[in-house]
Structure 1
Amino acid sequence: MDFCTRTFLSILKAGPIPRHIAFVMDGNRRYARKRYSPVRAGHKAGFQTLKKVLELCLNLDVKCVTVYSFSIENFKRSKEEVDAIMELAKDGLLELCRHDHLLAKYGVRLKIIGRKNLLPPDLQEIIRTSEQLTQNNHRALLNVCMPYTARDEIASSVQATIELHQNGDIPFDENEIAAHLGTALSGSPRLDMMIRTSGVKRLSDFLLWQTCVDTQIYFTPTYWPDFGLWEFGKIILDYQRKVWSESGKPCAVTAGRC
């Protein structure tokens, strides 16, 4: 990490930092088409961006990052593309969990959220191994949602709550449902911020329950592989401005600290 990046991150850390940030990593396919490259190349470039953005978050002391990696609906795409994504997922998880790489370096625990039984058996085994390798890391948390939809997550939580309270002794309420969501089971804090790249302005069935209260949502036109420090930094600064505005405190710029 170069001097300018470290300096900029130090400035950002002078203000409030979100504890939990979610990313809809959209635009990989359009990024590839724009460059007349195969779709796989776009997804590969997107994984490299994930590593860079994750490192930025960890250097800012963000405690939890949740990424929308693969929707259940994505199984409807071409077999060639789905197979390519599965291979990239296997390679990516192995790379992330290497002892000399990000998760070990920053003490990050990995949790996969979603219908893992829908994934190829060899990928399921890599997921089990990856989660076990990082289970004793407690500095930060990385949730990778695949294959996932929020509707499925909520339905699964409702089913788990019903099974737990079949005797009717404990009230069945929204707090019970929230406690059985995938993010809650992984130990995630409340979602402070969601960022979606590529210019599409919708949530696409991602963390619908978690975003319903106080989450700041940002849409950026940049394709995910092009997303980086300066755009992320502007979003963090806007988050800080809103936090200071709501609390009645002066922002860092007006206070002369930047």
Structure 2
Amino acid sequence: MSWIQEGELNLFEKIFANVLKAGPIPKHVAFIMDGNRRYARKKNMERQEGHMQGFNKLAETLRWCKYLNIPEVTVYAFSIENFKRTQDEVDGLMELAKQKFERLLEERENLEKHGVCIRVLGDLNMLPLDLQQAIAKAVVSTRTHNKCFLNVCFAYTSRYEITNAVREMAWGVEQGLIKASDVSEALLSECLYSNNSPNPDLLIRTSGEVRLSDFLLWQTSHSCLVFQSVLWPEFSFWNLCDAIIQYQLSHKSIQKARDLYQEEQVLQQLEADRACVAELLQHQGNGKPVDAQRRQEALQRYTFSREARVQDFIQTLKHKRNSFFTDLCRETVFT
């Protein structure tokens, strides 16, 4: 089945969708697509067929999101913890993923038509090389598209992502790109795999499990979380609408919490900058008093310098990540 499905909603679905769109619509929805294996047992089919049905449901869900003007979707496709499953199941999932990313490459014109950008978040070094190469081609070939975004979390857990972000900051300090005093929550967010995306407005988990399973822990601190009992392959347009209604009901409180958090971040950074400047001035003046104007001028210089340093580091980090995918594509040519 195609990644990008064509087709319209039925009349009743269209009417309800238009009613929904009169209220706030989430700009970014994340899915924990749980229940493929239970669906397979329920239907007396092989596990692999359950996973195939799960992919088909993803393609259908993307079509619904597009109609509802939801420009960004993130899905939990394969957790690092899933490597603990039986070798046959893991191998089957790797092969299914390879087939689907290769199919995606055959749909380049359709992806370009709809402006779909594919991003894959996780440690791809854990994957077979042929799958890495198929993923890299999909990422690179859609990199410039900017109408809608699909983030596929593969070989991913949130704790691993956060740990990797800390490593990236430590690398930046070791390389002299940033200073230890530049490390902050805001910088850590920029070092996450998801640094190109806004945090999800809404997270939906199917199958009745009420837990996040190490998915987007950092990014969903101020998101609407919806847990539904339906198995993922049975997820419907109406399940999506129900989740969006729950988001709309909590939209004001979510936005208030986000605004407050951003204000706190600004104040914390300002206090950190002031502390660094005070230490520098004390060292330069041998402990002598410094007037307010000089402190303010020093603060402005320090803030400008820090922001420039951090932005250069972030650009270096993005270049390093982009090069990883580009190099994999080149390697494909010669293998």
Is this a same-fold pair by TM over 0.5?
A: yes
Give the partner amino acid of 1:71: S
Cα distance in structure 1, aligned partners of 2:108 and 2:197: 25
What displacement does 1:99 show?
2.9
Cα distance in structure 2, aligned partners of 1:59 and 1:19: 12
Q: Deviations over 1:197-246 (max 9, x none)?
A: 0000111011111112x211010000000001011111111211222577
What displacement does 1:73 show?
1.0
1:209 aligns with 2:214: no
Cα distance in structure 1, aligned partners of 2:171 and 2:108: 42
Q: Find the partner of 1:147 among 155, 162, 166.
A: 155
1:221 aligns with 2:232: no
Give the partner amino acid of 2:198: P
Give the partner amino acid of 1:56: W
Equivalence map 1:238-257=2 (5 Å): 238-243=246-251
CA contact (8 A) 1:23 1:67 kept: yes
Equivalence map 1:1-258=2 (5 Å): 1=8, 2-99=10-107, 103-166=111-174, 167=176, 168=179, 170-184=181-195, 187-212=196-221, 214-243=222-251
Cα distance in structure 2, aligned partners of 1:161 and 1:245: 33
Cα distance in structure 2, aligned partners of 1:46 and 1:247: 32
SS at 1:211 equivalent: coil
Give the partner amino acid of 1:91: Q
Pair member with larger Rg: 2
SS at 1:210 equivalent: coil
Would the alpha carbon gap of residues 106 and 10 (structure 1) be closer, same or farther in structure 2, given more than 3 Å must change? farther
Q: Deviations over 1:139-181 (max 9, x none)?
A: 1111100010111100000110111133426421111111100
Partner of 1:253: none
CA contact (8 A) 1:197 1:224 kept: yes
SS at 1:146 equivalent: strand
Cα distance in structure 1, aligned partners of 2:167 and 2:187: 11
SS at 1:69 equivalent: strand
SS at 1:221 equivalent: coil
Cα distance in structure 2, aligned partners of 1:97 and 1:19: 26
What displacement does 1:103 show?
3.4
Would the alpha carbon gap of residues 171 and 107 (structure 1) be closer, same or farther in structure 2, given more than 3 Å must change? same
What displacement does 1:14 show?
1.6
Which ranges in structure 2 are unaligned for 5 or more consecutive residues? 1-7, 257-335
SS at 2:29 equivalent: strand
Bigger Cα displacement from structure 2, 203-212 vs 6-15: 6-15
Would the alpha carbon gap of residues 101 and 31 (structure 1) be closer, same or farther in structure 2, given more than 3 Å must change? farther
Bigger Cα displacement from structure 2, 4-13 vs 77-86: 4-13
CA contact (8 A) 1:97 1:104 kept: no
Give the partner amino acid of 1:201: V
**RMSD (Å) for aligned C-alpha atoms:** 1.9
Cα distance in structure 2, aligned partners of 1:105 and 1:233: 26
Give the TM-score taking structure 1 as reference length: 0.89
SS at 1:183 equivalent: coil
SS at 2:149 equivalent: strand
Give the partner amino acid of 2:44: Y
CA contact (8 A) 1:116 1:124 kept: yes
Cα distance in structure 1, aligned partners of 2:191 and 2:255: 31
What displacement does 1:7 show?
2.8
Q: Deviations over 1:60-105 (max 9, x none)?
A: 2212111000011111111111111111111222334433786334
Higher helix share: 2
Number of aligned residue pairs:
245
Which ranges in structure 1 are unaligned for 5 or more consecutive residues? 249-258
Would the alpha carbon gap of residues 246 and 51 (structure 1) be closer, same or farther in structure 2, given more than 3 Å must change? closer
Would the alpha carbon gap of residues 101 and 22 (structure 1) be closer, same or farther in structure 2, given more than 3 Å must change? farther
What displacement does 1:40 show?
0.4
What displacement does 1:15 show?
1.3
CA contact (8 A) 1:109 1:134 kept: yes
